[in-house]
Each structure stands twice: as structure tokens, then as C-alpha cells.
Amino acid sequence: MARINDNFLKLKAGYLFPEIGRRVSAYTDANPDAAARLIRCGIGDVTEPLPEACRKAMHDAVDEQGDSATFRGYGPEQGYDFLREAIVENQFAGLGISADEVFVSDGSKCDTGNILDIFGPGNKIAITDPVYPVYVDTNVMIGNTGEADENGAYDGLVYLPCTAENGFVPAIPDKKVDLIYLCYPNNPTGATATRDQLAAWVAYAKENKAIIFYDAAYEAFIQEDDVPHSIYEIEGAKECAIEFRSFSKNGGFTGTRCAYTVIPKELVGYTEDGSEQALHPLWSRRHSTKFNGASYPVQRGAAAVFSEEGKAQVSALIEGYMGNAKLLRDACTEIGLDVYGGINAPYVWVGCPEGVSSWDMFDRMLEQAQVVITPGAGFGAAGEGYFRISAFNSRENVEEVCRRIQENLG
């Protein structure tokens, strides 16, 4: 008898994006004429093509793979040195991170989920609300939670509400937790955390021997000078934080797949008998056993993000998306909605009009404006009353979305 992992049955069936898909199909089936007008600002996926520098580097790498003199088989599981070194030089200069603390992978979604492999049972896990759903679901799958209640909140998780009042950066908990997920610039709220706020989390983590999982997938979208780019800018973070970064959103690698995780060698967890154990060798072992390295051409493409041309092309992409974010912010502000995010992140987080729920707002935007947004409640109970508009779109589509928001909701 093949037993299954029963934890999978605790996962909520009505997961956000399938439910959005269901509602969009129902609407377009019933209104085929309107279907052609549909503009999707829902799922956070890039829309612009891969930078030329990356494509060129990948073409060259494919040609190398076609020549027995330059062909490469299995590479180092942790990533090629050329990429790990380029990452440290370009993203962590002066922060004391070394190339062998960077683990290259095929995605941050995978890394933020897989990281739980090296942590034991019984950890108290703190998750912001609203949140990137991957953090929650991977904890459910591995058995770190009980069942979900009717609002989708899982027994056993410590939810940290992120609200307009706290600037969408959670207060330090008044109880002890062991693993903490933080994501800044944030998906879905577009918020950033200040240096002082991160310092308070680092101090808490050190005092409680906790580990912070810091997801900085949107680091490249930071525009303001005083916003920290890495948790390692905070004194002491190397002793309590793992940072996740991805080429998905800056380099447009969502379909090409490349990311990395930083595990400083100072970082320790604890064995059952309470003795210290460095995390770096555990993750290295996990990576070597369950992963065989990201593809060579893809790692060459990722390294090209840090070439002179690559940097200029990535900047142009970011500038385009952030220009979209500004237009969306302005359109929503002009019709009197409360607008957050969109300044250092490609997501605009908007308060629904008084008395309108986030799913009602979703239906209204779909039916009246033929624009697909993401209802805040889909990211957690504290997301109720908000919706997220993604700035990942063509300028033309964004301008049209702004017109429709003003015509239909103004």
C-alpha cells in the first residue's frame, strides 16, 4: 500500500490563480466580444523580451556545447565560479559575502520551498500576511502546519499582519519564533523595509536564535537611495539570515530560470540536543544530492546581466516597468483610491473603495473594465480590502488600463 503525504490534502483547493482563471474563463465564455478587450495585470510575470546581452551569451554557450573542445557536461552543483563571482562583485560588494556562499539554482520559488529540507520539525514559523503563497504552501506540504480554517489560515503558523498602519512591515512578534519569512521589496504590497526595521528583525532573530529567510527577488526595482538592497547591509545579518535572489524579474528570466541563495558560513542552526550546526554544508549537501546545477547556457546568460551591455539593458527594462507603475499609481490616486507600493517595486497595492471586498473589486474590474487584477484576499486575510496591479506589461496596455480605470471607476 503506497501511502501518500497526507499534508498535501491540507492545501486549499481554491488557490488564488486557478480561481482567477476560473472567473476569467466564465466571463469570457459568457461575453466573447469583451474577451478581446481583456488586459491581464494579474500574475507577476514579466512581459518584455530577454536582454540582448543575455541572448547573445546564451547563443555563444550553446555553440560551445556543440564543439567537443568546449563541451561541458555536469557542472558544479552550486554553480559555475564565473557566475558566483560576478554575483558577489555586482550585488554584494563590500558586504563580506564570498562566492562560495552563493548557491546558483533554477529559481527562487524552488529555493524558498526547498530550504525547508535542512530544517527540522517543530520550528515556529512566522509568515507575513499578505504573503507570496509559496512560503505557506511549502510549509503545509512538509508537515509544519495543521489544517486551514475557513479563512485559509493554517493552524501552527504565526501570521504577521502587514497593514497600511505599519507600512506593510510587520511588528516584531511578542512571542518566540524560529523561522521568519520576509520579502522586501514586497510581493504583493510593493512595500519596502527601512534599515531600522530590518535591524530590529536581525536583533530579534539573533536573540531568539531564529533564522530570517529574506526574499529579495525585487531588489533591482529599488529606486530610492535609502532603501536597503540586501539584508546583509544590516550588522549581524550574516549570523541570522539567508537571502534569496533571482534573475526572473530583473533580467526577465521567468521562462529561462536562474536564481541564487546566499548562505553565509557563520549561519548556524541547532541539533536536537541543542548543539550548533553550520547551515552552509547542509545546504551544499542538499544541493549536490537533489540538484545537478542550473544549465550552462542559462548561467552564461545570467552572468551577462552583469556585463556593461547587460546592465544597461536591464536598467532600461526596469525603467520601463517602473514608468508603468507610476502611471498606474497616478491613475488610481486621481480617482481617490488609497495607493501603496509601485515606487521601489513593480506592484501597485490599492485600497478598494469603501465597503467593496477584494473579490468584488476583481469582478468589477473584469466586468466593467476587462482588466484582470489580483484580489488582495488571495494573498492572506490581511489582504482583504486591497487589490494588486502588476506593472509588468507593455506601456500601451498600461496606458489603456489607466484610461479604463478612470472611465469605469472614477
Ligand X SMILES: *Cc1c(COP(=O)(O)O)cnc(C)c1O
Query: Site size for ligand X, by CB under 6 A?
Result: 14
Q: Taking CB positions, which residue lies at the least distance from ligand X?
A: 107
Minimum distance from CB of 251 to ligand X (Å)?
10
String marking each residue 10-39 x if it binds ligand X according to CB under 6 A: ------------------------------
Element (H, E) at 58: helix 52-65
Q: Which region, judged by CB under 6 A, interacts with ligand X, from 9-17, 87-95, 102-110, 331-339?
A: 102-110
Task: Answer yes or no: are the C-beta atoms of 243 and 70 closer than 8 Å.
Answer: no
Minimum distance from CB of 294 to ligand X (Å)?
11
Q: How many Cβ atoms sit within 10 Å of the Cβ of residue 45?
A: 14
Minimum distance from CB of 273 to ligand X (Å)?
34
Between residue 181 and residue 210, which ones bind ligand X under the rule CB under 6 A? 183, 187
132 vs 204, which CB is nearer to ligand X?
A: 132
Q: Which region, judged by CB under 6 A, interacts with ligand X, from 137-145, 159-167, 245-253, 366-374?
A: 245-253
Task: Answer yes or no: are the C-beta atoms of 302 and 150 closer than 8 Å.
Answer: no
Task: Answer yes or no: are the C-beta atoms of 137 and 11 closer than 8 Å.
Answer: yes
In whole angstroms, how large is the CA radius of gyration of the chain? 22
DSSP 257: -
Task: Answer yes or no: are the C-beta atoms of 45 and 254 closer than 8 Å.
Answer: yes
- The grid coordinates of residue 89 equal 562583485
Between residue 251 and residue 290, which ones bind ligand X under the rule CB under 6 A? 254, 259
Minimum distance from CB of 257 to ligand X (Å)?
7
Q: What are phi and psi of 320, to 5 degrees?
A: -60, -50
248 binds ligand X (CB under 6 A): yes
Between residue 304 and residue 343, which ones bind ligand X under the rule CB under 6 A? none
CA distance 408 to 90: 45
246 binds ligand X (CB under 6 A): yes
Minimum distance from CB of 59 to ligand X (Å)?
22
383 binds ligand X (CB under 6 A): no
230 binds ligand X (CB under 6 A): no
DSSP E strand stretches across 91-151: 102-105, 125-129
Element (H, E) at 206: helix 195-207
Minimum distance from CB of 57 to ligand X (Å)?
19
Q: Which of 178, 215, 219, 243 binds ligand X (CB under 6 A)?
A: 215
- The grid coordinates of residue 341 equal 507600493
88 vs 104, which CB is nearer to ligand X?
A: 104
For CA atoms 389, 391, 394, 398, give the dihedral sign. positive
Minimum distance from CB of 183 to ligand X (Å)?
5
Alpha helix (H) ranges present in 291-307? 296-303
CA distance 401 to 363: 15
String marking each residue 104-123 x if it binds ligand X according to CB under 6 A: ---xxx--------------
- The grid coordinates of residue 77 equal 552543483
Exposed e or buried b per residue across 376-405, where buried means at least 16 C-beta atoms within 10 angstroms of its C-beta: bbbbbebbbbbbbbbbbbeeebbebbbebb
Conformation bin of residue 107: beta by default, left when phi > 0, alpha when psi is -120 to 50? left
Q: Which of 217, 332, 365, 402 binds ligand X (CB under 6 A)?
A: 217
String marking each residue 131-150 x if it binds ligand X according to CB under 6 A: -x------------------
String marking each residue 58-97 x if it binds ligand X according to CB under 6 A: ----------------------------------------
Q: Which residues bind ligand X (CB under 6 A)?
A: 44, 107-109, 132, 183, 187, 215, 217, 246, 248-249, 254, 259
